[in-house]
Structure 1
Amino acid sequence: MLKTVQISDVMRKSGFFFIGKAETTTNEAEIKGEGVIPTQWGSLYESHLLEQIPNKKNSAIIALYTDYESGELGEYTFALGSEVTAVDDVPDNLKSYQIVEGNYIVFTTRRGPVQTVVMEAWQYIWEWSKTNERAFRTDFELYDERCTDPENSEVDIYISVK
């Protein structure tokens, strides 16, 4: 069987600031094709969203999952944007978040087509979640220099744990 992810030990991650475009969704809506995530990704590029974000810390894209209503079954906020050094100048169409310091497990995808490897990793994470305790505070995907080729990308997915 193809190994789809590598898993880190629990790590302590410093807090950070984030600015991006946010919408509410559910896993059920996303699975049925009625969610916001594909539209958000399309909008990221079409509207040149990253160019609108002030005070970017680096060029990485962050896909943020936060404001969980009730674990993986309820509503949550999905936001696409960047880590920033300050949130004192947020454009009207975007939202800022302060992600607090916390414990995370990092799931690193295999190299491959970005949509495929990220979905494989989330399927693995949902199975992993059945026997491990997630915190459902803030989770995020990190799209850095390893993702410049969408057909040969590697993504880190940070899952908050207690």
Structure 2
Amino acid sequence: MNSVGVIPAQWDLFIREGALEPFPSRKSDTILAVYTEYETDETGSYTFGIGTEIAPTDPLPAGMTSYCVAEGTYVVFTTRKGPVSEIVVEAWAYIWEWSKTHKRAFLTDFEVYDERCIDPANSQVDIYISVLE
């Protein structure tokens, strides 16, 4: 997770292409970054996607995929306020440390970018981590 990794490149593409424009019926302006289909844990392969919540009946444009957030127990980590590119990396570093003593489920994890992220220089993000009960 750094400025030249796959995830930052996906965010750049998402922003450049205005990927939410095809969804006029989206439920809100909240953006979700989803981590799912884990092969093993955070060191194995997984699927990463960026999008928004839509009704299950909304058609998807060609080339897009839908993901469902798995039912389960989640721990929510809320970042401090600051530049989004710093606070999310900082929070994940904390989560990886936290994971050494807590049992993650590796079902679906997701980040919530809501109205608190209007100013990228002063944002706050919630990160939901699936855990074993």
What interval of TM-score do these two structures reach, taking the shorter chain for normalisation? over 0.9
**Which residue pairs with 2:13 in the alignment?**
43
Write the letter of the residue equivalent to 1:76.
Y
Within the candidate set 73, 87, 95, 1:125 is matched to 95
Structure 2 unaligned residues grouped into runs of 5+: none
Instruction: Give the direction of change, closer, same or farther, for the CA distance of 1:111–1:99 in structure 2 (3 Å limit).
Output: same
Judge conservation of contact 2:104–2:129 (CA < 8 Å) in 1. Answer: yes
**Which residue pairs with 1:135 in the alignment?**
105
What's the C-alpha RMSD, in Å, of the aligned pairs?
Answer: 1.5
Matched, 1:99 2:73: no
Judge conservation of contact 1:55–1:86 (CA < 8 Å) in 2. Answer: no
- 1:68-125: per-residue Cα shift (whole Å, max 9, x none)? 0110110111100001112551111110112232110000000001110111100000
Normalising by structure 1, report the TM-score: 0.77
The DSSP-based 3-state class of the residue aligned with 2:21 is helix
Judge conservation of contact 1:106–1:158 (CA < 8 Å) in 2. Answer: yes
Q: Which segment drifts farther, 144-153 or 84-93?
A: 84-93
Distance in 2, Cα, partners of 1:67 & 1:51:
26
1:4-153 superposed matches below 5 A: 30=1, 33=4, 35-53=5-23, 55-153=25-123
Task: Give the percent of matched residue pairs that are identical in Structure 1 and Structure 2.
Answer: 55
Q: Which segment drifts farther, 150-159 or 49-58?
A: 49-58
Distance in 1, Cα, partners of 2:94 & 2:13:
27
Structure 1 unaligned residues grouped into runs of 5+: 1-29
- 1:15-43: per-residue Cα shift (whole Å, max 9, x none)? xxxxxxxxxxxxxxx4594x321111111
- Which has the larger share of strand? 1
Judge conservation of contact 1:87–1:96 (CA < 8 Å) in 2. Answer: no
Deviation at 1:53, TM superposition (A): 3.0
Deviation at 1:55, TM superposition (A): 3.5
Distance in 1, Cα, partners of 2:62 & 2:29:
21
Distance in 2, Cα, partners of 1:149 & 1:88:
29
